[in-house]
Amino acid sequence: MSQELTAQERSILLNHIRDIPDFPKPDIIFKDITPLLSSPEALNILMDHLTNRYLGYELDYIAGIDARGFIFGSILADRLGVGFVPVRKKNKLPYTTVAQKYSLEYGFDEVEIHIDAFGETKGAKVLLIDDLIATGGTAKAANELIEKVGANCVETCFIIELEFLNGKEKFEDQSVYSVLKF
């Protein structure tokens, strides 16, 4: 299988992403990935694509952002034979953590990672994954956390990118890959 999606594969993935108008608030069109998750064909196409893309990266870990990044990240980690590390919302991890704040439209939020998330592997090669990039705040904070604990985030991957929100711009010199762009 090639690294690029075929037109047919792209079409199958797009047909399994549902638009939900006015969710979670008016004038937002939410991109719902649950139809993709419930389709063995669509999910397999996506995961085959990601597996082929990242086979040559010689990754040590996949880090997934709470909560949908856990789904794609854990499947990909299993397929690549590497560890999976959760990046969670504040106060959800049971051990000693490192936190990173990020700004929201009104206020701040925080994500955390275990201080020993990448074990003794200094400079561990990590892929960060999430379902969607909008403004990029959460992913940028997660990326900074990975670096804070001594690992190297080699790329940040999203299943969906909302290009009109320019979230990718937060990653200046970092490599970002999006499977589908809207």
DSSP-derived 3-state class of residue 127: strand
Give the catalytic positions in this structure: 68, 105
DSSP-derived 3-state class of residue 30: strand
Task: Convert the pLDDT of each residue in 7-37 to its tens digit.
Answer: 999 999 999 999 999 999 999 999 999 999 9
Q: Rounded CA gap, 178 and 164, in Å?
A: 14
Q: Cα separations (Å) of 38 from 10, 23, 83, 131?
A: 17, 20, 24, 15
Chain mean pLDDT for the chain:
95
Q: Residue 44: what pLDDT? A: 98
Residue 104 pLDDT more than 80?
A: no
List domains and CATH numbers for the chain: 7-181 (3.40.50.2020)
Q: What angle do CA 12, 83, 160 make, to 5 degrees?
A: 30
Encoded tokens for 128: 């960060």
CA count, 13 A, side-chain hemisphere, 5 = 20
